[in-house]
Structure 1
């Protein structure tokens, strides 16, 4: 007979007490009677309960039952909590909270846990005989479901319906009773709420709670991507109402509280289609010959008060989301594109970092505080770049100013790299869309001096604000601050990357103090070469993910001991937090408690990841859609990944990535050589490896799954195709693996 929840909770408490006892005495074993004595148990009923506890712990693998009937602690076993990352249909990883290693869990051992669930795992330390040092385990308890809402395509029959999930991490369809389809038509995109989770041999069951529209239509697909990652695409009515009710005029009393910089020449430089202008630069030559440059940031915290409906919604979202065809803002449009946007020819309230530079580019003075500015002009990056590159007679009064700022930005950039900043340039693309949202062209985004100019002054402001707050108090504990932190690379990932780079003839040191210098030397060496993309992608993968924290542990990638996010409060909630803290300290306030802010930092980091995943999903969708219109063509590509089931190939400047399946390499049987990042033909010895230039054509596209299947051109009778590596080679039979270089994007 089962226990009620109260009894089960009491029983689990006894389990933990007994387990703690054994862990403290892991050098010896105990009989049931010895446990009774140790816990001073005399009555029969309690003895039976403790017997049940020991049996449960033994059956769960948390204690070992010896041949003599005694029990002992399994010091090779441990219990951890984490989130399920169901990477493929055969297995998942449980991502452990804190410092522990992720746990490998076979799908059969998930015990009905799904991707995103928080679970408790019984794990065992890896055997010394295994090369992989990752522990393996089994889910013993589901602590919290990640989400009950699933997005996908519904298939409707006369008697029932079922949902095919969009998520690549959900591997089973969801049964929907015919009475619960909410008017959805066959092959519509819908959101289904799971009402009963599945069990072995039985599907999960749910009901349609929202019909998104016809699958394949642009609006439907973008909304489905947002829904898939739990991101909103509209504001609650009360939040919109509160935004609309804000007074747009700037009272004279407010201006008197601020440094008035409206007469100082100011301007913005942003993407040509931008509407939310977070930042502006001001430029003024001082009487002493030095230059004063202001980095002016929209004063969102003036309008968004702590605890207000606007603040609650901004915190909930934590970031704006940038899809291919739209921005889903953190703040309502009245604020993001209106009141807070530093539009030209309008007085605006700002929070500023103002620096005085000498003629050598050295900062002599700095000032932080609230200001009011008047932007004189708005530049697109392309317009600013034209002024930087212009060599003829000066016809635009802003040209010498932009050029002077560019020269100073170069000095700041050179100093940053000399100090150890890592020079990564990640490949990005932009799409040309027609009126229906269909992609008609894909172009690589090119970062020129105008982009780097703005980047350097934003980095400077972020760094100096963080340093200012940290140094306000000279002893520990320092003032609480929101930092953007970035740990050094994981030593094991670094070792693997160093080994791989060596195969191309490059040396990458694993010495911690020399890593950034070594990476920069590598990036310079591979520029323009065939292996550039592959090595750069894998180098980025060795890096830790930047995140928000109240711990001032520094930013490895930028080589800054203190770094914050101050420059984009319209689209990032941590910047709003930074503004509030900075003003609090400027007003002489004491350091607030750290714990609540750390929770907000963790929330913001999690939301940032979701937004980045949604952005990548929208890009991938448009890439697949674009390639579906070009199936007959032959493309030049580069191999960017090697797996047991095929080769990932990136196509030219479009950065569209597809899979050449192993079964479609029809000139031979190929084996994976995992250790050497390649596949090798058993009979002809042909080798395909990272960085190889190949020719491919589109075999199939699947918009629902956002995948592209490719095939090699001219496989049969092509002779020494690929990269002239067709001679026979001995090949160690490597262990099978998942993709070696998953693509990713790092944000500073």
Structure 2
């Protein structure tokens, strides 16, 4: 994938004493990573130190990829062309050579690593008292998984046994680590509440992961990937870092800054969705992101139908949403907004994942120039050149998203093929003349159900007060009498998933006869 010359050069360049002396040395600080248990490219770490004032010194420490990845080199051009790592079910196609993303840049425990750090003084409620940006050298003391961190959040006073966690490097104890996790969690809760109070929107949808056979690599099961408080902890501080860096580089280089904006949803489809849901007694305020978020929260319920209905409403709301896009601040029209719709913030960028996103690499170079203009320049490229690069990043991001979704659907089809068929609960998302769409509730996948394939005497489409209904008249079978089934938006149904005849890499959903 990458030539041996690249690898030997990168090792040759690694971590000179002179470079360490130029940086702020945080190697004795309690800094560690929290990632999925399978992660190998660890590009972010966190720290939290209580201060005598009652405030906290909180740090987000990001792998300094730009020390190795110099602008306009061959390796930089390859990374720019790839723009992103692609995460398939069975493997990762990395943006950078593995010697970088899994070794020299990865914030592995016990290893001296170069980093870019954003450090704040925060009060216990997450209010920023002061902030600092700097190039640092760190040494992570432990690699925690989200499950490890979640256990600490849920059991803050427990005396943990060493065998329950990975080895800790340096003069730190499990109590030290647990205390940091809990303090970060406490602050993150306030940060999150304030974000949503200020008008942020989040459309959470079901995502699945697979268990793969060690020998064949084939799927032998799947499960819903659950977002827990430990995930939210990391998310809040990554968002805080991204927003802080966006303001910093825009202040320093208003014409060159690489930012990320999220346009408002498409007006006509959003209005059509609002009208559709009004007919089902679901009323959404779509005037802004915060109003939509409050509308969705209103329909949170404990009963099964309410939970499933909210899942469908969320999936429907995601369709009119536009993709967030990278851009060069000086290369856009003056009347174009920089705002991020979902986050409801005026400036945003990506800083926290330079191992897997090239846009973050550009941002790191600009941040380096802002904090040390004597040693670094933001870029040798002009505005139009930067805009072309961000356009490519946007294209690659969208392509990788599609590929990742197809990879998931492929492995789901392979799993269904192995077990022949499986029954699943679903809820109707759209009614058409001779078919309807359903959301597979445990998978987060929408499939179309065709009526012609069902053992029906007949069917008919009716429209009542703006609502569409399909009436299915089932034939009698053996000792089962004929029956009528009404299908409309939010109808709960049971479907059988089967491999498609002649194409076992796809699967179909067939409506099951109501009991």
- Within the alignment, does 1:409 sit opposite 2:188 as a pair? yes
CA contact (8 A) 2:283 2:295 kept: no
Any stretches of 5+ residues in structure 2 without a counterpart? 161-173, 330-336, 475-482
Which structure has more relative contact order (CA 8 Å, sep 6+)? It is: 2
Q: Aligned with 2:32: secondary structure? A: strand
CA contact (8 A) 1:355 1:363 kept: yes
- Within the alignment, does 1:620 sit opposite 2:385 as a pair? no
Using the alignment, how far apart are the partners of 1:702 and 1:243 within structure 2? 47
1:521 maps to which residue? 295
Using the alignment, how far apart are the partners of 1:650 and 1:509 within structure 2? 23
2:490 maps to which residue? 691
CA contact (8 A) 2:46 2:60 kept: yes
The structure-2 alpha-carbon separation of the partners of 1:453 and 1:510, relative to structure 1 and needing over 3 Å to count, comes to closer
CA contact (8 A) 1:290 1:359 kept: yes
Task: Say how many residue pairs are matched.
Answer: 474
TM-score by length of 1: 0.60
CA contact (8 A) 1:623 1:656 kept: no
Deviation per CA, 1:476-531: give whole Å up to 9, x if none: xx3421111101122212211211221332221243xx442233332452355131
CA contact (8 A) 2:200 2:343 kept: yes
Using the alignment, how far apart are the partners of 1:526 and 1:612 within structure 2? 29
Deviation per CA, 1:401-425: give whole Å up to 9, x if none: 1111001001110111011100221
1:308: Cα distance to partner? 1.2
The structure-2 alpha-carbon separation of the partners of 1:702 and 1:265, relative to structure 1 and needing over 3 Å to count, comes to farther
Using the alignment, how far apart are the partners of 2:490 and 2:502 within structure 1? 27
- Of residues 291-300 and 638-647 in structure 1, the stretch that sits farther from structure 2 once superposed is 638-647
Q: How does 1:62-81 map onto structure 2 within 5 Å? A: none
Using the alignment, how far apart are the partners of 1:594 and 1:678 within structure 2? 54
CA contact (8 A) 1:506 1:522 kept: no
Q: Which structure has the larger Rg over C-alpha atoms?
A: 1
Q: How does 1:316-715 map onto structure 2 within 5 Å? A: 316-390=81-155, 392-395=157-160, 396-397=174-175, 398-434=177-213, 435-472=215-252, 478-511=254-287, 514-527=288-301, 529=306, 530-551=308-329, 553-588=338-373, 593-655=382-444, 657-667=446-456, 668-671=458-461, 676=467, 678-681=469-472, 686-701=485-500, 704=503, 706-714=505-513
Using the alignment, how far apart are the partners of 1:445 and 1:620 within structure 2? 15
Q: Aligned with 1:245: secondary structure? A: helix
CA contact (8 A) 1:351 1:370 kept: yes
CA contact (8 A) 1:671 1:682 kept: no
Using the alignment, how far apart are the partners of 1:394 and 1:526 within structure 2? 36
Using the alignment, how far apart are the partners of 2:367 and 2:445 within structure 1? 43
The structure-2 alpha-carbon separation of the partners of 1:687 and 1:628, relative to structure 1 and needing over 3 Å to count, comes to same
1:265 maps to which residue? 30
CA contact (8 A) 2:45 2:140 kept: yes
2:333 maps to which residue? none
CA contact (8 A) 1:508 1:519 kept: no
1:550: Cα distance to partner? 1.8
CA contact (8 A) 2:413 2:499 kept: no
1:377: Cα distance to partner? 0.8
The structure-2 alpha-carbon separation of the partners of 1:681 and 1:291, relative to structure 1 and needing over 3 Å to count, comes to same
CA contact (8 A) 2:264 2:341 kept: yes
Q: Aligned with 1:629: secondary structure? A: helix
Using the alignment, how far apart are the partners of 1:266 and 1:492 within structure 2? 48
The structure-2 alpha-carbon separation of the partners of 1:557 and 1:494, relative to structure 1 and needing over 3 Å to count, comes to same
Using the alignment, how far apart are the partners of 1:277 and 1:304 within structure 2? 17
- Of residues 328-337 and 423-432 in structure 1, the stretch that sits farther from structure 2 once superposed is 423-432
Any stretches of 5+ residues in structure 1 without a counterpart? 1-234, 722-748
Using the alignment, how far apart are the partners of 1:248 and 1:287 within structure 2? 41
Q: Aligned with 2:356: secondary structure? A: coil
Q: Aligned with 1:531: secondary structure? A: helix
Q: Aligned with 1:307: secondary structure? A: coil
The structure-2 alpha-carbon separation of the partners of 1:243 and 1:489, relative to structure 1 and needing over 3 Å to count, comes to same
Using the alignment, how far apart are the partners of 1:546 and 1:677 within structure 2? 33
1:391: Cα distance to partner? 5.1
1:243 maps to which residue? 7
Using the alignment, how far apart are the partners of 1:579 and 1:672 within structure 2? 58
Q: Aligned with 2:389: secondary structure? A: helix
1:701: Cα distance to partner? 2.8
1:699: Cα distance to partner? 4.4
The structure-2 alpha-carbon separation of the partners of 1:335 and 1:636, relative to structure 1 and needing over 3 Å to count, comes to same
